[in-house]
Structure 1
Amino acid sequence: MKIVADTPSCVGAGMCTNVAPAVFDIDADSGLVRVLAEGGDVPGSEEGAVSDAIALCPAQALRWDDARAV
């Protein structure tokens, strides 16, 4: 699955980095979320943690990419 971070909506709370540090980081320059997973592809082993990060994000700046290839 792919994760999408809406960086302009991010408030830099860092909840995502606490629960899914292998997938998210806070950019040193902007102080906003940065997706570490290349292309937004989340390893299966991290999907639970990413779902938790989505639920905890105070700005609702994270979501699963539900686009389907046709």
Structure 2
Amino acid sequence: MNVVIDQDKCVGAGQCVLLAPDVFDQRDEDGIVVLLQENPPEQLHEDIRQAARVCPALAIQLDDS
């Protein structure tokens, strides 16, 4: 799985960080998402999928190929 974030879309809701803290973080100054792992291990994939589903700004894109 390849994870791509669009920081321009991010509204800083933080749901991704709550669901997958090993993959996502937030900038201290404005709460915008920071990607920690572009290609996370398989055991994190379901948490990442859930984070992408609940993102209110649809700022997380996943490529499962």
Q: TM-score normalised to the size of structure 1?
A: 0.85
Residue aligning to 2:50: 52
Question: Aligned runs of 1:1-70 on 2, under 5 Å?
Answer: 1-37=1-37, 40-65=38-63
3-state SS of 1:7 partner = coil
Identical aligned residues as a percent: 38
String of CA shifts for 1:9-48, please: whole Å, max 9, x gaps: 00000000000011000011342000111xx111101000
TM-score normalized with structure 2 length? 0.91
8 A contact 2:3–2:39 mirrored in 1:
yes
Structure 1 unmatched runs, 5+: none
Q: Comparing 28-37 with 1-10, which one deviates more in the overlay?
A: 28-37
Q: How many residues align?
A: 65
- Report the secondary structure of 1:4's partner residue: strand
Q: Structure 2: any 5+ residue segments left out of the alignment?
A: none
* Structure with the larger strand share: 2
Which of the two has greater helix per residue?
1
2:19 maps to a residue whose letter is: V
Work out which of the two has the higher radius of gyration on C-alpha atoms and give 1 or 2: 1
Q: Distance in 2 between matches of 1:16 and 1:23?
A: 8
Structure 1 ranges of 4+ moved more than 6 A: none
